[in-house]
Structure 1
Amino acid sequence: MSQKTPRQFFKPLAIGAPEPFRDLPVRLERMIHFVPGHNEKIRPKVPDMAKQVDVLLANLEDAIPSDAKDAARAGAVEMANMIDWQASGTGFWSRVNCINSPWFLDDVTDLVLKAGRQLDVIMLPKVEGPWDIHYADQLVAQLEAKAGLSRPILFHAILETAEGMARVEEIALASPRMQGISLGPADLAANRKMKTTRVGGGHPFYRVLEDPHADGSPRANAQQDLWHYTIARMVDACRMAGINAFYGPFGDIADLDACEQQFRNAFLLGCAGAWSLHPNQIAIAKRVFSPDPDEVRFARKILAAMPDGSGVAMIDGKMQDDATWKQAKVISDLADLVASKDPDLASAYSA
């Protein structure tokens, strides 16, 4: 048997480790804001940044030079202890180096033993199968027990290889620690041998062309989304497992319009949030991954007209039934979660 039995699935993997969550904590995670752990100029700004974002992540992996890995790890521990993250309402995460790197063991050991009480999620890059999750799961359980933690640390996997993508359902179901999965478009594109140097977004050569005209006039064409299939499959795997899907990085920091469109595509397909690599992407993620006030008002009309979700109702000329009631519930519940943290949107949703 390749998987644990249901009775064993939620048992701690080490004596003294905390009981795994049976349901994910309900948290607003519209953006995961990356901060390089080794950057001494940015690190002092963390307490102020924490007030602006839903999740702040101390990055130890890509974009951290090899000779700065130790400094990044120490910086992550320092960030963890700057404020009381559990009381702040902002999540504190860290992306460690990949499992087959020489830094992974020290990353996880230091984070759990020195910052485990403040750390919500460990982001695991380049996950290729459930075996990666199982190894990290056992290791973290042993460290949690050693540190005397009472709350389990969750895992967030990044899809960055074709094998990981092919096994995304197995990864999503690998452990009760699984919080979510993000798309890593740059590494995945390279591994798939896709012919693009862009980090996320569309490509001018990936288009559809209308049929020829009899008069030979120019044919209309439209640029397509390279990532539509990948995101949709990731979302399905995550929702099957009861965890959250996230769009990852959008690399062109200056192209805010394209960033917003990519985030919006991911939001409509079911993603809970995206990464922000620069402060100018934070506001975009807040706007995009919060439901539109008009949508919220219409959704709440449906819920009010069909309190128990049964029957049929005509609202603004549109027929509503149990399926549209469920859609409305998704929008309304997200609006409630956003309103709990964002006073301006709370006011807009109640208007």
Structure 2
Amino acid sequence: MKAPSAYYKPLAIGAPAPFREIPVRLERMIHFVPPHIEKMRAKVPDLISKVDVVLGNLEDAIPADAKSDARSGFIQMARDNDFGSTGLWSRVNCLNSPWFLDDVMQIVQSVGDKLDVIMLPKVEGAWDIHYLDQLLAQLEAKAGLSRPILIHAILETAEGVKNVEQIASASPRMHGMSLGPADLAASRGMKTTRVGGGHPDYAVLSDETGAGTRATFQQDLWHYTVAKMVDACLSNGLKPFYGPFGDFSDPQACESQFRNAFLMGCLGAWSLHPTQIEIAKRVFSPDPQEVAFARKILEAMPDGTGAVMIDGKMQDDATWKQAKVIVDLARLVASKDSGLAEVYGF
């Protein structure tokens, strides 16, 4: 383990100093783009104003014979567009693939000044983060970059979930984590072929009463993992995200899964299809009524101490902290979304 005095030192001569705190940005949805497809790249200029993060995907869902085209397509996409306040990310191939090294070296050298985050798949321990951390520092120094590129880990193996706390604290370059339910299901030996969401057979029955039919209550397959990821992220100042929801034909189930993740502390989710952009925007923006009530709490307790009654409910310093989370998020949303700014009253 590094000494505290060395934790924030650059890992290469000439590399930019690590962030002391992760930049505050609105990231309700991470929208995946397959950059090897020209017609999809052509949609990016219009997409930038509609999403919080544009991610060029180089890993899963990209055929092996299109990996190089995806890499060069992402570089071209980054060069051709001004992303403004919208984040630019890339999900590179996993560390043990034949494409990872070229992905990172070529992207950082070519468009590292525009890239905000590298999403690293199948992270299993702090050692994976340490390797990419050192490599990025060397490449940033070589490219003369003035700000560090952050790392976002995907939890999609049993080993990664087991080591989630060590992953979260592995580097000041860490941005956050996403749940990768499909690969995680395979790694755990789970008996499902779904990409995220629930399963009708994962349920509990109501007690037997002798009245005949017993009620069935479907459970959330991902509750434990999301909770563990949120705790690891928030205790280290990182951002937790729900990952993909693969059934594009069921927007109601997608919204339910996203909302569960939001209530548990996630700040956003992946959008793999245009219809999921609006779902993520709606879910990960706080409800206007919740914002209005939270503002009442903050106004009634300016210094966050004591206790007051509001609408028949007791509020104290603990609920003041909860209210501040909601209002702070609403202000961040309002800074980008003028429509919601008006609804929130900011």
| Residue of structure 2 in register with 1:334 after alignment | 329
> 1:202-258, CA deviations, whole angstroms, 9 ceiling, x for partnerless residues?
100011111101x34211111111000110000000001100000000000110000
| Residue of structure 2 in register with 1:17 after alignment | 15
| Residue of structure 1 in register with 2:70 after alignment | 72
Q: In structure 1, which of residues 215, 223, 228 is the aligned counterpart of residue 223 of structure 2?
A: 228
Amino acid at match of 1:95: R
Q: In structure 1, which of residues 288, 291, 297 is the aligned counterpart of residue 286 of structure 2?
A: 291
| Residue of structure 2 in register with 1:95 after alignment | 91
| Residue of structure 1 in register with 2:128 after alignment | 132
* Aligned-partner Cα distance in 2 for 1:231–1:167: 14
* Aligned-partner Cα distance in 2 for 1:272–1:119: 20
| Residue of structure 2 in register with 1:237 after alignment | 232
* Aligned-partner Cα distance in 2 for 1:194–1:5: 40
> 1:247-281, CA deviations, whole angstroms, 9 ceiling, x for partnerless residues?
00000011000000000000000000000000000
* Aligned-partner Cα distance in 1 for 2:311–2:262: 25
Q: In structure 2, which of residues 179, 184, 189 is the aligned counterpart of residue 183 of structure 1?
A: 179
Amino acid at match of 1:288: V
| Residue of structure 2 in register with 1:158 after alignment | 154
* Aligned-partner Cα distance in 1 for 2:39–2:321: 47
| TM-score of the pair, normalised by structure 1 | 0.98
* Aligned-partner Cα distance in 1 for 2:281–2:139: 35
For the residue of structure 1 that corresponds to 2:127, the secondary structure is: helix
* Aligned-partner Cα distance in 2 for 1:8–1:58: 33
For the residue of structure 2 that corresponds to 1:245, the secondary structure is: strand
Runs of at least 5 residues in structure 1 that lack an aligned partner in the other structure: none
Matched, 1:280 2:278: no
* Aligned-partner Cα distance in 2 for 1:309–1:347: 26
* Aligned-partner Cα distance in 2 for 1:100–1:15: 27
Which 4+ runs in 1 deviate beyond 6 A?
Answer: none
For the residue of structure 1 that corresponds to 2:89, the secondary structure is: strand
* Aligned-partner Cα distance in 2 for 1:163–1:61: 20
* Aligned-partner Cα distance in 2 for 1:25–1:216: 57
Amino acid at match of 1:130: A
* Aligned-partner Cα distance in 2 for 1:37–1:4: 38
Matches within 5 A, 1:41-56: 41-56=39-54
For the residue of structure 2 that corresponds to 1:323, the secondary structure is: helix
Amino acid at match of 1:56: V
* Aligned-partner Cα distance in 1 for 2:276–2:302: 38
Matches within 5 A, 1:235-274: 235-274=230-269
For the residue of structure 1 that corresponds to 2:134, the secondary structure is: helix
* Aligned-partner Cα distance in 1 for 2:138–2:35: 25
* Aligned-partner Cα distance in 2 for 1:12–1:111: 20
Percent of aligned pairs with the same amino acid: 72
| Residue of structure 2 in register with 1:343 after alignment | 338
For the residue of structure 1 that corresponds to 2:139, the secondary structure is: helix
Q: In structure 2, which of residues 293, 302, 308 is the aligned counterpart of residue 313 of structure 1?
A: 308
TM-aligned CA deviation for residue 287 of structure 1 = 0.1
Amino acid at match of 1:132: D
For the residue of structure 2 that corresponds to 1:81, the secondary structure is: helix
> 1:321-349, CA deviations, whole angstroms, 9 ceiling, x for partnerless residues?
00000000000000000000011111110
Amino acid at match of 2:192: T
Matched, 1:200 2:192: no
* Aligned-partner Cα distance in 2 for 1:333–1:191: 37
| TM-score of the pair, normalised by structure 2 | 0.99
| Residue of structure 2 in register with 1:173 after alignment | 169
After superposing the two structures, state which structure 1 stretch, 126-135 or 216-225, moved more: 216-225
Amino acid at match of 2:226: I
* Aligned-partner Cα distance in 2 for 1:216–1:246: 43
TM-aligned CA deviation for residue 84 of structure 1 = 2.4
For the residue of structure 1 that corresponds to 2:119, the secondary structure is: strand
* Aligned-partner Cα distance in 2 for 1:305–1:297: 12
For the residue of structure 2 that corresponds to 1:180, the secondary structure is: strand
Runs of at least 5 residues in structure 2 that lack an aligned partner in the other structure: none
